[in-house]
Amino acid sequence: MTPEETARRSAEAMWAGDRASQGLGMSLDAVGPGTATLSMTVREDMVNGHAIGHGGYTFTLADSAFAFACNSYNRSTVAAGCEIRFRRPTHLGDRLVATATERERDGRDGVYDVLVTVGDEVVAVFTGRSKEIRGTLFDAG
């Protein structure tokens, strides 16, 4: 199985059980070894009292892209820590695109960078640290 096939099958296995990402209207747009792109439109129920997109939803989209990227090797992997910097507010109707890219992997640990954009504009920068745990997402048997 090629690394691209492994990434695709890993993403399919994760997506099948990811009710949170699906429930927020996210779509899994692309996946590859150490990378993933997800997108989501800011809905009315995602706008806060300042009439801007709630940062928690931007964070959740970035976290989901991070999760798909770090699980792309068919090794069960979870977040060990993360941080986000908001660069500009989002608004009702904005289509947010989160692209996760592996910065480094060493043993069971990884670091991933996620850019969240609206069009050509970066709205948030997220860094996630991952830790592999026991198990796989699918039987490669």
pLDDT, tens digit (0-9, with 9 covering 90-100), for 66-90: 999 999 999 999 999 999 999 999 9
Mean pLDDT of 38-44: 98
**Residue 61: what pLDDT?**
98
Distance between terminal CA atoms of the chain?
Answer: 11
- Here the tokens at position 74 are 């068919």
Reported residue count of the chain is: 141
As a whole number of angstroms, the distance between CA 117 and CA 112 comes to: 16
CB 112 within 8 A of CB 73: no
Angstrom distance (rounded) from CA 95 to CA 111? 26
For the chain, give the mean pLDDT: 97
CATH number of 3-132: 3.10.129.10
CB 97 within 8 A of CB 116: yes
pLDDT score of 141 more than 80: no
Residue type, 38: L
Domain ranges of the chain: 3-132
Residue 140 pLDDT greater than 90, yes or no: no
pLDDT confidence of residue 126:
98
